[in-house]
Structure 1
Amino acid sequence: MARGGSRRARAGRKRQRRMRLADNDLSPSQWQEIKTAWGGCAYCGRTDTVLQRDCIQPLSVGGRYTELNVVPACRSCNASKCNTEVTSWMRRKGLDEELFLRRLVSIRASRVVVPDPPADALQ
């Protein structure tokens, strides 16, 4: 038991270190817009649960919490996907990969991604 906890602690520290080093710039308003656009879990469509931020490209392989890399996921899908590449995970789970990719493209096209101005430009 102690060994498992130790492994979990190391994994947690490693994740926190990756988070600190990555350029994560997803604002709360962007996250709300993304959740609204998807209307539920991006993977299974579930709407009756709290949605979590999931990186399409996992943090472990260079992904970041940015507007173009985050989709809403139910806890079950987020935990199951873990650090897996999204399309191979969807195939393994029997989820509709093509529908996900079409919706992703459609939602991105319908949302004009305008970067926030630099802080010094507001002065």
Structure 2
Amino acid sequence: MANDWQELTRLTQGEEIRVERVKMTRTGIALEGEFELPPLAQITSEDQIFVMAFIQANGSIKEMEKVFGISYPTVKNRLKRIADQLPLTESAPPRSNKSEILEQLSAGEITADEAIRKMS
């Protein structure tokens, strides 16, 4: 399956593509519509391989130096170049720390119920 994505990436040469049909192999159910590829599937196959290797190396730049035979700055620059192509993921808002919540509670800025909700 990974080779299929790499071949598709090579064939499209960076052109934007849309998937119009998705079939689940186990059930045979197919969905039709217009689906955008996930961001990682939109980067070049070489960059996909680099990202997979980085993950398998547990984020170790030293390991990436060994695997690819490149310098530390080259690994960092390539990771930055790839990261610049990918959108930031949305994440949950940061959770307040307990001392901040307790300060808000003592200052009367929030109720006890709000403090409990924020801490859970």
TM-score (norm 1): 0.29
Point out the structure with max Rg over C-alpha: 2
User: Which of structures 1 and 2 has the larger relative contact order (alpha carbons within 8 angstroms, sep 6+)?
Assistant: 1
Instruction: Identify the structure with the greater strand proportion.
Output: 2
TM-score (norm 2): 0.29
